[in-house]
Amino acid sequence: MSKLKGLLLTEGMHGMISQVEGLAKALDIEFTHQKVELNSFWKYIPPNLAPISNLVFKKLDASDFDVIISCGRKSVIPSIYLKKNSKKKVFNIHIQDPKVSLGNFDFVIAPEHDGLKGKNVITSKGAIHYLTLNEIKNNHNYLIDKLDKDQEYLLLVLGGPNKYYDYEDQNLINIFSKIKKILDGNNLQAIVIPSMRTPKKTIDLADKYFGKVNLIINNIDKRAYLSGLSLAKYIIVTCDSTSMISEAALTGKPIYIADIPAKRDDKRFKKFRDLFNKLNITKNLNEKLEIWNYKSLNETTRIAEEIKKKIL
């Protein structure tokens, strides 16, 4: 039996790409990924006020597909339009609250902390993503030759500024100083990994602060990220990235959240962090290290299995 063909639609941001590609891989479908761009005026109009029309978005290279997996506001109208105008039965799956009638989709996947309810809604604990335990294991040795083999490792994963959190130097230095005390007090070596959202000045600051005896990755390197997740005994992730915290939870290792003062109401982020704290996955970063255990969180596979029962 030939595999189903998938069309993935996102705005091109890492967190969205990770979610749609992760689900497509877990569903075991062949897929192509298209970046959605909206036409002029429609960039400023929310999906619930936009018509279901191809005038809303720029032409997509999409000819043959059985499943649409979309994520993000811009992909809502294209997903609905392409399903509606297909000459064959197409399942469409949207990740995150689409802010339109849920009936426009066969499935909507939303994080539990969003509180979205509906017959076709599947909730996830945190964000689904594209990492797998096999990938992490297979890249274990990628960084090993750059590290001190006589030490244990602490992984710091950096996110980036958004409308809720400011990556000004003082906020980062407050985090770095706590980590420095942990490293010195526990004979640990740090691995610092940036994300696509991490500003160069933040990487440079981390390099200046930790660089001499620790490993700072200065570019986007997925294999380094996977290797760091495999090698580290402890993981620290900045509070701005629910996706990277969710990815780290796949490891089953202790995860500390590095707080940055919020510049506006961040209640959705707080709900997410409260949930992961109650699940015993995360703790807030302080100057004390602990080891604790929790079951590896693999929501992508669980949700894919649920969807497979209905579409295959």
- How many Cα neighbours within 13 Å face the side chain of 180? 14
> In the chain, at which residue ranges do the beta strands (DSSP E only) sit?
5-10, 30-35, 67-71, 91-95, 107-111, 121-124, 152-158, 188-194, 215-216, 234-238, 255-258, 282-284
* 280 to 274, 290, 295, 302: CA distances (angstroms): 10, 12, 9, 19
* 244 to 6, 119, 196, 238, 295: CA distances (angstroms): 25, 28, 11, 9, 17
Q: Which residues contact 201 (CB under 8 A, 6 or more apart)?
A: none
The per-residue pLDDT for 211 is 82
**Other beta carbons within 10 Å of 80:** 22
Dump pLDDT digits (tens) for 113-149: 888 999 999 999 999 999 999 999 999 999 999 999 9
Name the CA dihedral angle for 123, 126, 129, 131, rounded to a multiple of 10 degrees: -130
Task: Please check the confidence at residue 262 and state whether its pLDDT lies above 70.
Answer: yes
- How many Cα neighbours within 13 Å face the side chain of 265? 2
**Distance (Å, whole) CA 172 – CA 175:** 5
* Domains, in order of start, for the chain: 5-125+301-311 (3.40.50), 133-284 (3.40.50.2000)
* Residue tagged 């090993």 (tokens): 144
Start-to-end CA span in the chain (Å): 11
One DSSP character per residue, 113-174 reads: GG----TTEEEESS---S--HHHHHHTGGGTGGGS-TTSEEEEEEE----SSB---HHHHHH
The per-residue pLDDT for 244 is 94
Dump pLDDT digits (tens) for 143-188: 999 999 999 999 999 999 999 999 999 999 999 999 999 999 999 9
Dump pLDDT digits (tens) for 39-57: 999 999 999 999 999 999 9
Among residues 147, 241, 227, 228, the alpha carbon closest in space to that of 192 is found at 228
The per-residue pLDDT for 1 is 55
* 304 to 8, 27, 144, 252, 294: CA distances (angstroms): 15, 5, 33, 20, 22
Beta strand 255-258 with 282-284 is parallel
Angle at 271 (CA atoms; ends 265, 275), nearest 5 degrees: 160
Task: Please check the confidence at residue 15 and state whether its pLDDT lies above 70.
Answer: yes
What is the percent of the chain with per-residue pLDDT over 90, rounded to a whole number? 93
Among residues 51, 76, 47, 79, the alpha carbon closest in space to that of 65 is found at 79
